[in-house]
Structure 1
Amino acid sequence: MRYYPLLLDLHGTHCLIVGFGKVGQRKLATLLKANPAQVTVLDTFSIEEVKDADMLQLLNNPFVTYSQRSFEASDVAGKTLVFASTGSRTVNKQVSDACAAHNILCNVIDDPSSGTFTVPAHIEKGDLLITLSTGGASPALSRKIKKELEKQVGDKYAPVVTLMGRIRPLILELANDTEQNTTVFRNLVSSDIATAIQKKDQIAAESILRSILPETLHSNIGALLHELI
């Protein structure tokens, strides 16, 4: 395994995208979902010449700063993530070299091995995020597997993730021992709660939660299932 599997919290960080073609646009659209404080985009086109509505919407995002100029090594200073997504291998290498000199994580679209991370294919269903990677060997295979997983997973587990996000802090507030909490969480995800929610079966869902949750939390069941069924 070449790459270490990792999900980053980019809230409050500054990132850089060098090159804003179709790939750069996809990188930015995904990056903005992670709520960075600022994303700087560098390219040589004039924003006044842009006719594509989706492209303009990305560039006009309040968290995006566009600069019409060529890349300079100093641009990577203070950045958490950098994407080298130009059509020039020479420029992309300049970006990756500058990042390497400052120990900054860098993704290079035309030569993943010269960067420090790749962006995995992913499936996003509410708060559920599934990522997969072939280590840069075959993005096409990643896309194929992604389509297969999307069909298999569907929308079944997204509301369960929301439910577990509501339950977890309540369980932890009870200050029970870790083994007891683990048993509750495992019983919940092993139950038929996902099916009950998917079928909009309020009675079954409430029954499952009452059978698994500590009695002190039974009064919360209605709120836990709010808008999930």
Structure 2
Amino acid sequence: MVQYYPAFLDLSDKKVVLFGGGPVALRKAKALSETGADLIAVSRDFSPEFLAFAKRHRLKLRHGSEIQNSLRGASLAIAATSDKAFNKTVFERCKQKGILINVVDDPGHSSFIVPSVLKRGRLQIAISTGGASPLLAKTLRQKLAVEFGSEYGRLVRQLEQDRSKSKKTIFLEKDRRSHFRQVVASGLKGFKRKRNTSLRGNVFK
């Protein structure tokens, strides 16, 4: 049984190759386009929705199924086609070249798996079952989405600004840590008060 190591990757300006042009590949392209990666999509056919997205985001497209040249200089690849044999070949080529590869819904032919992610601005909560049950991971993400609203994204922005200022005004590390704990606790306490008020209001509706 594989024990995965959780990590967040900095893909900015790195070549990422996405094999596929259908709805699954489109979902991956949307997520990857937010990372600043140099994204290239390779497919024999692209759906109209994929083509429209590629045009809006200036995504590089390569028509065909050539693997070797497409992977040249790549840091990461994702195979999201419906052709299992082709996806397996992509995996084997990436393994030979030492390129990180994810074959969608096929952990056995992947060097990494993609978790179910809840995003609130800069805040990201990743959930994984190690490929055992993607549905459970998705269900847990949906439950957490109720608990963690958009206010957490705003809190992260505020904390980032406060952290930057505090580094210039609070010189002792132990004092900064104490300050950060107080600021975070205060922000979370405010969320709790709002949530309790909302719940009390709903009881009488």
When normalised by structure 2's length, the TM-score is 0.86
Cα distance in 2 for residues equivalent to 1:147 and 1:99: 33
Residue in 2 that maps onto 1:16: 17
Alignment size in residue pairs = 193
Cα distance in 1 for residues equivalent to 2:79 and 2:122: 28
After alignment, is 61-70 or 19-28 more displaced?
61-70
- The gaps in structure 1 that reach 5 residues or longer are 200-229
Residue in 2 that maps onto 1:41: 41
Matches within 5 A, 1:146-225: 146-174=141-169, 176-192=171-187, 195=190
Residues 22 and 50 in structure 2, CA contact (< 8 A), matched pair in contact too: no
**Counterpart of 1:8 in 2: which secondary structure?**
coil
Please point out which of 110, 127, 140 is paired with 1:145: 140
Cα distance in 2 for residues equivalent to 1:61 and 1:160: 30
Alignment-mate amino acid for residue 95 of structure 2:
A
RMSD over aligned CA atoms reads 2.1
Residue in 2 that maps onto 1:207: none
Deviation at 1:23, TM superposition (A): 1.0
Q: Deviations over 1:149-196 (max 9, x none)?
A: 001112232211010011111111236122221111111111246627
Residues 91 and 103 in structure 2, CA contact (< 8 A), matched pair in contact too: yes
After alignment, is 25-34 or 120-129 more displaced?
120-129
Deviation at 1:145, TM superposition (A): 0.3
Cα distance in 2 for residues equivalent to 1:62 and 1:148: 31
Alignment-mate amino acid for residue 24 of structure 2:
V
Matches within 5 A, 1:5-84: 5-36=6-37, 38-45=38-45, 50=47, 52=48, 54-84=49-79
Deviation at 1:78, TM superposition (A): 1.0
When normalised by structure 1's length, the TM-score is 0.77
Cα distance in 1 for residues equivalent to 2:57 and 2:144: 34
Q: Deviations over 1:29-60 (max 9, x none)?
A: 00001111x21111112x6xx5x3x4223221
Matches within 5 A, 1:105-124: 105-124=100-119
Cα distance in 1 for residues equivalent to 2:149 and 2:43: 38
- The gaps in structure 2 that reach 5 residues or longer are 195-205
